Amino acid sequence: MSGIQQLLFATKGQAGIVGILSLSDQTLGIVGTDVALRVGYELGSDGKAYKALSGSNVLLEQWVTPPVAAWQFEVFVTVATAVGGTVNGTIGAWLPMTIAHQWYIQANTSTNNESITATLAVTLRKVGDTGNIDTAYIYLSAHK
């Protein structure tokens, strides 16, 4: 699902903080000749999502408004598909959004014409809830 918004109410002593959740599907790719060509997806504890490249991040969207409400959520990532390599990062566990989390693929050989692709299912929910709030699909590709 893309761009779903859900109204959530804070607990943990910060009553009155309302988090509006919006997580979008993304297609993130990189083409280059670097020996270690890397592309990934990062969910920040600052309430923003980033395209994570070799050495830098590019802002994609704000996944929760206001950003201070990020602590209310946790994220779960599964690998839907992976071709030519593996996905790095914590897979298959609920992770608190009190810290940033990143998942990436990396082409490591010096050989040209190497392609790695992966599709991630990124699911967010409110801490302590059993139902999923929003899922986005992240398509990663690296070609050298």
Domain hosting 69: range is: 4-143
pLDDT at residue 4, as a whole number = 36
> Across the chain, what does the average pLDDT equal?
84
pLDDT at 123 over 60: yes
Predicted confidence band at 22 (pLDDT cuts at 50, 70, 90)?
confident
Q: Which residues contact 34 (CB under 8 A, 6 or more apart)?
A: 54, 144
Taking 60 as the threshold, does the pLDDT of residue 36 lie above it?
yes
Extract the tokens encoding 98.
């009190």
3-state class (DSSP) for residue 24: coil
Res 5 pLDDT > 70: no
> What is the pLDDT, as a whole number, of residue 33?
74
The answer, yes or no, to whether the previous bond of 96 is cis (omega within 30 of 0) is: no
Return the CATH number at 83: 2.60.40
Residue 17: the pLDDT is 60
Domain count for the chain: 1
Share of the chain above pLDDT 90, in %: 53
Digit-coded pLDDT (tens) for 55-70: 789 999 999 989 989 9
According to the per-residue pLDDT averaged within each range, which of 25-39, 63-77, 108-122, 127-141 is highest?
63-77
**Per mean pLDDT, which of 66-70, 98-102, 132-136 is the most reliable?**
98-102
> Tokens 């490249």, residue?
53
How is 125-141 classified by DSSP, letter by letter? EETT-SS--EEEEEEEE
